[in-house]
């Protein structure tokens, strides 16, 4: 019964990722209607639409560090609950937009709130999980992101933008109603000197008859360690190494091109001359992404993080190379299906490794006393890289062409493979203390 409770609480705790996925997937389905003045009383230009697509990533970048502070001060659950009313307000601005400024502000707000869950959700979910379930549950965040994107692709593909916006706006409300009944992270409660509440939370998660004494003792010991200044904790060799590895994974997650492909899926298929209707192509991409992420969850504790990341980088490299060759040489050859195949290979590869694993490892690579701040820094860099890619992709696509853009993504995939091969440690089956010891040994 304990496993079932953990999975249910972990799934609900990660629903912020579903809300974020809807924000990420929103741009593709609505692009044509918004640009043709069918959705609003205004028509954004190319630069303005680039901002509409990318401003949510900038909002997400601004949220990670403040949320890292909040989850340490007031708790993981309360922080996530506090984010949901402004999340709803952001969607209201998008629904009621009468000027491009309202749309941009709304996108920034939903990006800010959605991006905040990139820090809060993985930390909450991994802290409620036992070691043997941590890998699987740590992937819930990415799983729900891709299901949120699929939700956006399906609903946005078949209804008008106004009703699609409403369908997105109800998601934070649903999350709030479910999350309010969930327990606070026992790790946070133990660190704050509330062993009775931490024990109650653990009993809820492990079963009322479970012996949680040893686990509670370990959590409480972490909370009783001598507190160091933020500067000292961040400057420890093991923390710096964890930051280097985590930021490296975040960089490659974005610079291999995932958000360019997701945000502009419809555009890519139209440009490729695919014979499939663009909205159907994007839904296929969303389904493939969801299935591949489920596969990743099923095998991550058997295969390990490192192997999945290497397979992921290899598949993304092959697919972006195919896309570069297609746009450079084969566009007039009547093989539009090749673009769909290449994007699906990319999505499968990304979803197997570089989608879920960087977020899971962000919650694994840092000691408890620095996890919130270090994870926030890693999350901020992720969204800054995402902002750069989503803002520059349409501009670079116009100036240097799709061939050069996908060749750049190919280069980053090759670099990612080398980075993983030589630098990323395997964390499968290890406690957080064992991971810290392993990083510390390699740092010396």
pLDDT digits 0-9 by tens, 379-434 = 888 888 888 887 777 778 778 887 898 899 999 999 999 999 988 888 777 767 77
C-alpha span between 78 and 154 (Å, rounded) = 32
Tell me what the pLDDT averaged over the chain comes to.
84
Note the pLDDT of residue 2. 67
Is 96 part of a structural domain of the chain?
yes
* pLDDT at 62 > cutoff 50: yes
The answer to whether position 247 is within a domain reads: yes
In a domain, 217, yes or no: no
Which pLDDT band, with edges at 50, 70 and 90, does 1 fall under? low
Greater model confidence, 276 or 65: 65
CA distance 220 to 304: 29
Indicate whether 111 belongs to any domain. Answer: yes
pLDDT, tens only, 317-359: 999 998 888 888 877 776 767 877 888 889 899 988 898 888 8
pLDDT, residue 443, reads: 40
Judge whether 187 lies within some domain: no
Q: What is the pLDDT of residue 373?
A: 83
- Over residues 172-181, mean pLDDT: 95
Q: Does the pLDDT value for residue 103 go beyond 90?
A: yes
Separation of alpha carbons 391 and 382, rounded Å: 14
Q: How confident is the model at residue 46 (pLDDT cuts 50, 70, 90)?
A: confident
Assess contact for 129 and 6: CB atoms under 8 A.
yes
52 part of a folded domain:
yes
Contact 24, 150 (CB under 8 A): no
CATH number at residue 156: 1.20.1250.20
pLDDT at residue 171 greater than cutoff 70: yes
**Do the domain assignments include residue 216?**
no
pLDDT tops 70 at residue 161:
yes
Q: Whose structure tokens read 């860099």?
A: 381
Model pTM score? 0.81
The domain of 409 spans: 2-182+225-443
Q: What is the Cα–Cα distance from 114 to 336, expressed in whole angstroms?
A: 34
What pLDDT score does 382 carry? Answer: 87
For residue 367, give the nearest of 440, 442, 441 by alpha carbon. Answer: 440
pLDDT at 444: 37
pLDDT digits (tens, 9 = 90+) for 181-208: 999 988 888 888 788 888 888 888 887 7
Q: Which residue has the higher pLDDT, 41 or 346?
A: 346
Average pLDDT over residues 117-139: 83
Give the integer Cα–Cα distance in Å for 414 and 189: 43
Cα separations (Å) of 155 from 147, 166, 253, 368? 12, 11, 27, 40
Give the chain's domain count.
1
202 within domain boundaries = no
């Amino acid at each position: 019964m304990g496993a079932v409770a953990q999975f249910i609480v972990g799934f609900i705790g990660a629903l912020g990722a579903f809300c974020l996925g809807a924000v990420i997937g929103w741009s593709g389905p609505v692009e044509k209607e918004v640009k043709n003045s069918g959705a609003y009383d205004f028509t954004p230009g190319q630069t303005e639409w680039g901002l509409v697509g990318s401003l949510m990533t900038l909002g997400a970048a601004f949220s990670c560090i403040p949320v890292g502070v909040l989850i340490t001060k007031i708790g993981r659950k309360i922080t996530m609950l506090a984010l949901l009313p402004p999340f709803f307000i952001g969607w209201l601005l998008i629904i009621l937009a009468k000027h491009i400024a309202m749309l941009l502000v709304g996108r920034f707000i939903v990006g800010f709130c959605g991006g905040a869950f990139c820090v809060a959700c993985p930390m909450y979910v991994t802290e409620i999980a036992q070691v043997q379930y941590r890998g699987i549950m740590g992937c819930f965040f990415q799983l729900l992101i891709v299901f949120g994107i699929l939700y956006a692709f399906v609903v946005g593909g078949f209804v008008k933008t106004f009703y699609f916006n409403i369908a997105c706006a109800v998601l934070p409300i649903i999350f709030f109603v479910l999350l309010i009944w969930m327990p606070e992270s026992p790790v946070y409660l133990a660190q704050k000197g509330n062993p009775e509440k931490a024990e109650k939370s653990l009993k809820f998660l492990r079963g009322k008859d479970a012996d949680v004494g040893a686990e509670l003792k370990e959590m409480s010991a972490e909370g009783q360690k001598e507190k160091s200044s933020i500067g000292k904790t961040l400057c420890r060799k093991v923390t710096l190494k964890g930051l280097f590895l985590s930021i490296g994974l975040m960089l490659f997650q974005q610079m291999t091109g995932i958000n360019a492909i997701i945000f502009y899926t419809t555009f890519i298929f139209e440009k490729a001359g695919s014979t499939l209707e663009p909205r159907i192509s994007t839904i296929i991409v969303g389904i493939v992404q969801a299935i591949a992420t489920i596969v990743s969850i099923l095998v991550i504790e058997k295969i390990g993080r490192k192997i999945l990341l290497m397979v992921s980088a290899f598949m993304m490299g092959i697919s972006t190379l195919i896309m570069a060759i297609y746009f450079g040489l084969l566009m007039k050859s009547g093989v539009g299906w090749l673009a769909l195949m290449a994007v699906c290979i990319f999505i499968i590869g990304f979803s197997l490794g570089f989608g879920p694993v960087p977020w899971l490892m962000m919650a694994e690579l840092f000691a408890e006393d620095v996890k919130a701040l270090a994870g926030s820094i890693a999350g901020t860099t992720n969204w800054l890289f995402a902002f750069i890619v989503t803002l520059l992709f349409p501009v670079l696509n116009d100036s240097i062409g799709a061939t050069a853009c996908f060749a750049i993504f190919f280069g980053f995939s090759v670099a990612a493979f080398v980075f993983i091969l030589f630098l990323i440690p395997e964390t499968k089956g290890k406690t957080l203390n064992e991971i810290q010891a392993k990083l510390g040994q390699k740092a010396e």
